[in-house]
Chain A
């Protein structure tokens, strides 16, 4: 079980959060194969992975997480606007 630092609330147990998967942005346009990739393909690297999590049982804020998928180390967490967390 992970300990995740919410940029707004500080370090909390994983059970307070929901995993939002790879942090992808929806492009305003783009070709059809590109849309397929957006819907159904994820990078799933062995190593650092940029994800989004939401503090669903806390402040309800989404934020960026870089997690090493091989060690489960949380390498960084940031607010969605890119700012470092104050917490």
Chain B
């Protein structure tokens, strides 16, 4: 194509330099990348995916199946950007070649900013063509909150390429007036915005290109792209119609495009061929020839498979002296050395003629765009007149208008848009009487003047160059092979031939693929149908989906009040259920094992302190609090005295463990309950669920208080001495303050501190809870006043080692989804007297069966073997296949015992102590011995100091 000296919506006074495949080129402000390339004489934009054939631009909009480019951005690269809707900007750098069908990603971060926004409106109109504009205008005049989204760079749709007038104004002028009216009335109009995903209840995900459509230097603070989450009371899908190509031999040559594209390039971008041939099965296709002719382009003819049409447009063509090839088809083409179209072979009733042309405009007719409707499984039916699917009934809350609804003329589309708006507004309680709508002046298109033609059979029978899907290089031969292999269902044909699997979901290939499959299998087209449309309608980049939720913004990070104190001690942190917890406090030159070794021995030999503020804490109170906790916890909460604590567990209705924790009775009907770190929210929800759904008459209040208290455990044989110093007024002797007792008093000057004799290490231990912000006071005081006692801060690694040595489980780690308290060795806590959630299932034989996966301890046979969590346990090493006896749930280096120990779930494990099993580690497996879960201090002598 070449640029005409005048015309078009481009600004010739503002040329833009850009690069394509390394070539320096120039276009104009107002161009798209596609039009700029055509204007710069780049007809061959790249090569096809599997056959490597030269390809060119097919369309001027959303039908595009060939023109995609890899676009470089500052610090990033975007694959497969559609050239026909990418505005040209200064310095644009794009790669074509094989990149038109194969994009790539670059390693490293993408520095571009991507945003999300939420929007709510009465009416969302998708598509700003005649129907969408008519609908939005009517609705905004009626006072509704309207949002209009358009995938193309500008509003207008088909009006931009048609010579029609609307309300007495040229179509393009009417469009810009309508846009201004909408803007002034507060309607949100988004362009370059694709309605990508239709959600239930009238939700829509819209992906808008903003900065990405501008030079990086001109994007200012704008995000590259923005993802809109829209909720509307009503939605109008005015998504228009796409033009369908016709399949014939060598129909993929650069220079072959759709008739609508030929007109758009002429009218919007002042681009014209030297000799433009038209091959159309509809009257509408004649417009391209007439427009070209009016612009002074040589039109060697119009090829029409129908008998001479009597419509307005063919009459005008005849009057203009254009040559008509009636009852004729293009059956093949030839190309020059670079692959560009040279001639078309036209077969008619009087034989074949070779027609010279550099552009061949093709139209197989227009078909509704129904991807969004189909995403929510909206029904369609086959319309034989259009040779395409049309909507059967819209989904609730939605209306389909204009060409998407089968109204293919400007007049019908405008009227249908207004109709849809009236109906949609009525559903929102806004009544707009009357039937007024914008009135166009447009040529009459004859009803039934359309002959449906999908494919011209190749004269030599070779259809390996008759392309159905240009993006995927699917040919008629491919469909023949699929059908020959016995494949008939269109979804199977799609997967066998890859037709319609490109980034554009084969939008302009689908109907042809279905229809040709139908003809190959001798079935009606309506029965074969087309492959479905799936979300998103356009490919979305991962970056627009992630938005700002990456790096530190990916997830909130929770830190305890002691975080700075840990950091000051050189702590290494690890994430635990959104919390950052101190793993260990290494000294200079220490290895991981040396640190854990030192910290462990300090707790077992002297005293250690650990931050356990992340444990979930729940305040449960109310007249029925005791009754309520008795119904949820496995042991007799009601028998816990005030000022005492009890270790207990929660079960699901099926008897499986939900969580364990300590229940502290603060007062007669007031409890302080702890949960595991990872289950804090779950347990609160669990309590609320039972209170609300089963026992609404019970008066209990459940309050999560995890972040109200900092909790520090002081553990070790000299813990008592340290607590005595910290809380001089508190009786801390074993008789006055026994195991599982809870006291309140002043600790390190903090009044009202709660001190509980509970232990997760097996050592004498006191858990001190104080108001969250005061945690550091206790921590610092313990470090200072315990210095001569050898007080050692310890982290999660040591905490794990100590609890594994003692066989203390973590629910969810040392249990499976089906593990019961019996399986976990907690059968002792189950009350014999009362009912609780899970009890009924636990009483069944199946819950206590011998062969269940039961908690055991395991000890490695040698000093070198780490017991890795999740590792399978088998009877013999190296044999396969064999049954898996169980798996390791926790493992650690035990400084106290001088070897690796762990916990495991093993089938019937409780009866298998002493047995040798093999962990599937290394080539030969590692020998382990099944032992009691309590590796250390089996009689529990150490907890009282």
| B200:A62 contact, CB within 8 angstroms | no
Cα of A56 to Cα of B688 in the assembled complex, Å: 10
What are the residues of chain A within 8 A of B692 when measuring CB–CB?
61-62, 80
Q: Which residues of A contact B685 (CB under 8 A)?
A: 18, 54, 56, 60
**Pick from A3, A40, A56, A62: contact of B203, CB under 8 Å:** A3
Contact A74 B201 (CB under 8 A): yes
Quick check: A26 and B203 within 8 Å, CB to CB?
Answer: no
Determine if A73 is an interface residue (Cβ-Cβ < 8 Å): yes
Residues from chain B with a CB closer than 8 A to the CB of A73 are 200-201, 396
Q: Are A80 and B694 in contact (CB under 8 A)?
A: no
Q: Is the CB of B841 within 8 A of A2?
A: no
A60 cross-chain contacts in B, Cβ below 8 A: 685, 688
Residues from 683 to 706 in B contacting A, C-beta threshold 8 Å: 685, 688-689, 692-694, 696
When A20-B689, A56-B685, A74-B201 are in contact, do A3 and B696 touch as well, CB less than 8 Å? no
Q: Is the CB of B689 within 8 A of A54?
A: yes
Task: Please provide the chain B residues from 193 to 211 with a CB less than 8 Å away from any CB of chain A in the complex.
Answer: 199-203
Contact with B along A67-84 (1 / 0, CB 8 A): 000011110000011000
Q: Do residues A26 and B653 form an inter-chain contact, with CB atoms below 8 A?
A: yes
Q: How many Å lie between the Cα of A52 and that of B692 in the bound state?
A: 11
Which residues on A sit within 8 Å (CB–CB) of B688?
A: 54, 60, 62
**How far is it, in angstroms, between the C-alpha of A35 and the C-alpha of B844 when the chains are bound?**
11
Chain A contacts for B694, CB-based, 8 A: 25-26
Shortest A4–chain B CB gap in Å is 8
1/0 per residue A24-46: CB within 8 Å of B? 01100000100100111000000
> Which of B202-260 touch A at CB < 8 Å?
202-203, 229, 231
**Nearest CB in chain A: distance from B10 CB, A:** 41
B201 in contact with A3 (CB, 8 Å)? yes
In the complex, what residue of chain A is closest to B396 when comparing beta carbons? Answer: A73
| A38→B654 CA distance, assembly (Å) | 10
Given the complex, which residues of B lie within 8 Å of A81, measured CB to CB?
696
Across-interface contacts of A38 in B (CB, < 8 A) = 653
B693–A80 touching, CB < 8 Å: yes
Would A39 and B696 be within 8 Å (CB), given that A2-B201, A3-B200 are in contact?
A: no
Judge whether B840 is part of the interface by a CB distance below 8 angstroms. Answer: yes
A87 contacts the other chain (CB 8 A): no
In the complex, A38→B189 CA distance in Å? 52
- List, in ascending order, chain B residues with CB within 8 A of A61's CB: 692
Q: Which residue of A18, A62, A73 has the most chain B CB atoms within 10 A of its CB atom?
A: A62
Measured between beta carbons, the chain B residues less than 8 angstroms from A3 are 199-203, 231
* Residue A86 lies at the interface, judged by CB distance under 8 Å to chain B: no
Interface residue from A18, A32, A39, A71 paired with B654 (Cβ < 8 Å) = A39
Check A35/B841 contact, CB under 8 A, given A26-B653, A62-B693.
yes
Supposing A2-B200, A60-B688 touch, asked if A35 and B231 sit within 8 A by C-beta, the answer is no
Least distance between B936 CB and chain A CB atoms (Å): 38
Which residues of chain A are within 8 angstroms of B689 by Cβ–Cβ distance? 20, 54, 62
Task: Give the contact-size bracket for chain A.
Answer: 20 to 34
Contact between B200 and A1, CB atoms less than 8 A apart: yes
* Cα of A26 to Cα of B203 in the assembled complex, Å: 36
In the docked arrangement, what's the CA distance between A2 and B199, Å?
7
- Do A1 and B653 touch (CB < 8 A)? no
- Minimal beta-carbon separation of A41 from chain B (angstroms): 12
Given contacts A1-B203, A2-B200, contact A35 B693 (CB under 8 A): no
Nearest-CB distance from B175 to chain A (Å)? 33
A39 touches which of B201, B202, B653, B693 (Cβ 8 Å): B653
Determine how close the nearest CB of chain A comes to the CB of B839; give it in whole angstroms.
11
- Contact pattern, B 31-58, Cβ under 8 Å of A = 1, otherwise 0: 0000000000000000000000000000
Identity of the chain A residue whose Cβ is nearest the Cβ of B229 in the assembled complex: A13
**Complex interface bits, B786-816 against A, C-beta within 8 A gives 1, otherwise 0:** 0000000000000000000000000000000
Q: Do A35 and B840 touch (CB < 8 A)?
A: yes
In the bound complex, residues from chain A placing their C-beta under 8 Å from that of B201 are 2-3, 72-74
**A38–B148 Cα gap in the complex (Å)?**
49
Which residues of chain A are near B693, meaning CB under 8 Å?
25, 52, 62, 80
Please give, as numbers and ranges, the residues of chain A lying within 8 Å of B653 by CB-CB distance. Answer: 26, 38-39
Roughly how many angstroms separate A13 CA and B119 CA in the complex, as a whole number?
Answer: 12
Specify which chain A residues have a CB less than 8 angstroms from the CB of B396 in the assembled complex.
Answer: 71, 73
Contacts of B203 in A (CB 8 A): 1, 3, 13
Q: Is the CB of B199 within 8 A of A1?
A: yes
**Cα-based distance from A54 to B690 in the complex (angstroms):** 12
Q: Which of B408-427 contact A (CB under 8 A)?
A: none
Complex Cα gap A54–B202 (Å):
22
Cα–Cα, bound, A25→B396 (Å): 33
- For B202, list chain A residues within 8 Å (CB): 3
- Give complex CA distance A80, B695 in Å: 11
A35: which B residues are within 8 A, CB to CB?
840-841
Contacts of B840 in A (CB 8 A): 35
Residue of B nearest to A74 (CB): B201
Complex Cα gap A1–B199 (Å): 5
- Residues of B near A71 (CB, < 8 A) are 396
CA distance A18 to B684 in the complex (A): 14
Which residue from chain A places its CB closest to the CB of B692 in the assembled complex? A62
Which B residues lie within 8 Å of A26 (CB)? 653, 694
Closest to A62 in B: B692
The chain B residue sitting closest to A32, CB to CB, is B844
Q: How far is the CA of A62 from the CA of B695 in the complex (A)?
A: 12
Residue with the greatest number of chain A CB neighbours at <10 A, chosen from B200, B696, B840: B200
Contacts of A25 in B (CB 8 A): 693-694
A72 contact set on B, CB distance < 8 A:
200-201
A39, B841: Cβ atoms closer than 8 Å:
yes
CB distance from B689 to the nearest CB of A (A): 6
Least distance between A37 CB and chain B CB atoms (Å): 12
CA distance A72 to B395 in the complex (A): 12
Q: Which 3 A-B pairs have the closest CB atoms?
A: A3-B201, A72-B200, A62-B692
16 contacts between A and B (CB under 8 A): A3-B200, A13-B203, A13-B231, A18-B685, A25-B694, A26-B694, A32-B844, A35-B840, A39-B654, A54-B688, A56-B685, A60-B688, A61-B692, A71-B396, A73-B201, A80-B696
Q: Which residues of A contact B (CB under 8 A)?
A: 1-3, 13, 18, 20, 25-26, 32, 35, 38-40, 52, 54, 56, 60-62, 71-74, 80-81
Given contacts A54-B685, A73-B201, 17 further A-B contacts (CB under 8 A): A1-B203, A3-B200, A3-B231, A13-B203, A18-B685, A25-B694, A26-B653, A39-B654, A39-B841, A52-B693, A54-B688, A56-B685, A62-B689, A62-B693, A72-B201, A73-B200, A81-B696
